[in-house]
């Protein structure tokens, strides 16, 4: 089993991107990644396209993207794992290189959600669970799912609405410094508390937006990476888990069990102890589709004990300079959440952080040379936790 490195990254502006079509949007990210890796399309042996696309006119996005980006006749596939689609796409290319099936692979996540009207997109996302039981019978929307998590967490641990607001304020603070972010404006607690209710206790400013965007990475085997770059970022390990389709089959609504299991897997493979795992990382990108999701991620990753994740937010310990900087690119909340691209965007953010290539005002101090991403699909139906390092992993 071979070591796998990221040797190139690309990222588009997130937001309403109706100025381009799907393949043109993908090419913006792919072009950046190829240029950063200093290679051309002929050297790519395999490419994976992450795209959910229920709202898109393109039924075969991998084919369309491959043709436009001049990647054919390389082998390809389209990957979908709800909101963790980007990380699932990375996993496929990662395993292709690790197993020896390819030496250089490209991953592109792309989504153009504004091809459909907002109400239709909201409905389609709301179907991402036990459709007939939860959506048809009870009318649960996606905010409704996470409102259940929020209410359960508040009742059990005493978290306040202002603690959720701390997450939104932090992520907008960093989103304002990220030129790729959809929302580039800071918010105040007063603005947060006055924002429109969506599903109690969640408000508009607790919620990630509907987003278009693309991100790309080039992966290479160790032998190839050493020939191309003197600054690879290695994928040390990845944990993967899944949860039940129906929430009623879950025993605890105050955390996401699949994410916790995925973290344990990733830590074991990286030889990291779960308790105090945060000490190993310089930076983290976690799945904050709603503010409560970030607080639960703190606990599922071992950054805080059960029931104490909201204290990290309250004490502002996840800003740069705090205990563990989290979502300093703005997160899904402010950077945006183009579903198929989100996991790849996280990988781009962590890679650029570890190489001191982050945007001004968002760069962390890199001491350990390690970062982590946490990407959840649906309401814990899928979970991917990936660990990155500037240090070559032992085999």
Helix (H) or strand (E) holding 382: strand 382-389
Using CA atoms in the order 111, 116, 118, 121, what is the torsion angle rounded to 10 degrees?
A: -60
Of 149, 337, 359, 381, the active-site residue reads 337
Residue 226, Cβ density class (10 Å: 0-12 exposed, 13-18 middle, ≥19 buried): middle
User: Which residue is listed with tokens 């993207």?
Assistant: 65
Q: In what order do the strands lie in the sheet with 104-112?
A: 75-79, 46-50, 104-112, 212-221, 4-11, 233-242, 382-389, 370-377, 283-286
User: Which residue is listed with tokens 């937006």?
Assistant: 209
List beta partners, residue 199: 202
Whether residue 201 is preceded by a cis peptide bond, meaning omega within 30 degrees of 0, is: yes
379: which DSSP letter? Answer: T
Residue 359 is among the residues annotated as catalytic for this protein: no
Taking the C-alpha atoms of residue 327 and residue 337, their distance in angstroms, rounded to an integer, is: 13
List beta partners, residue 326: 284
Taking the C-alpha atoms of residue 78 and residue 52, their distance in angstroms, rounded to an integer, is: 9
Of 69, 83, 255, 374, the active-site residue reads 83
Residue 149 is among the residues annotated as catalytic for this protein: no
| Nearest to 344, CA basis, from 113, 180, 179, 108 | 108
- Taking a C-beta distance cutoff of 8 angstroms, is the pair 159, 296 a contact? no
Taking the C-alpha atoms of residue 11 and residue 14, their distance in angstroms, rounded to an integer, is: 9
Active site residues: 83, 337
């Amino acid at each position: 089993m071979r070591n796998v490195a990221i040797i190139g990254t690309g990222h588009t502006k997130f937001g309403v991107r109706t100025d381009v079509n799907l393949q043109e949007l993908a090419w913006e990210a792919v072009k950046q990644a190829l240029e950063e890796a200093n290679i051309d399309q002929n050297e790519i042996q395999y490419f994976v396209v992450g795209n959910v696309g229920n709202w898109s006119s393109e039924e075969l996005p991998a084919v369309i993207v491959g043709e436009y980006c001049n990647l054919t006749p390389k082998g390809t596939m389209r990957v979908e794992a709800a909101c963790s689609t980007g990380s699932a796409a990375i996993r496929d290319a990662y395993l292709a290189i690790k197993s020896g099936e390819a030496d250089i692979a490209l991953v592109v996540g792309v989504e153009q959600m504004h091809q459909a009207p907002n109400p239709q997109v909201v409905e389609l996302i709301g179907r991402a669970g036990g459709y007939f039981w939860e959506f048809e019978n009870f009318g649960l929307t996606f905010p409704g799912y996470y409102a259940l998590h929020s209410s359960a967490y508040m009742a059990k641990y005493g978290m306040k609405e202002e603690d959720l607001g701390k997450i939104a304020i932090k992520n907008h603070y960093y989103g304002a410094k990220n030129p790729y972010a959809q929302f580039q404006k800071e918010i105040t607690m007063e603005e947060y508390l006055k924002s429109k209710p969506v599903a109690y206790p969640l408000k508009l400013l607790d919620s990630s937006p509907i987003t278009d965007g693309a991100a790309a990475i080039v992966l290479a085997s160790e032998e190839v990476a050493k020939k191309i770059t003197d600054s690879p970022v290695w994928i040390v390990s990845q944990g993967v888990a899944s949860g039940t389709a129906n929430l009623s089959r879950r025993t605890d609504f105050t955390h996401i069990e699949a994410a916790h299991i995925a973290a344990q897997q990733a830590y074991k493979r990286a030889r990291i102890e779960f308790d105090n795992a945060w000490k190993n990382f310089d930076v983290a990108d976690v799945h904050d589709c709603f503010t409560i999701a970030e607080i639960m991620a703190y606990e599922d990753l071992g950054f805080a004990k059960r029931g104490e994740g909201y204290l990290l937010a309250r004490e502002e310990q996840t800003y740069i300079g705090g205990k563990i900087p989290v979502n300093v690119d703005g997160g899904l909340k402010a950077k945006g959440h183009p579903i198929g691209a989100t996991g790849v965007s996280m990988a781009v953010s962590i890679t650029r952080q570890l190489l001191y290539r982050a945007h001004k005002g968002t760069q962390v101090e890199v001491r350990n040379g390690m970062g982590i991403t946490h990407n959840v699909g649906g309401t814990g139906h899928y979970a991917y936790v990936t660990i990155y390092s500037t240090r070559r992993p032992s085999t």
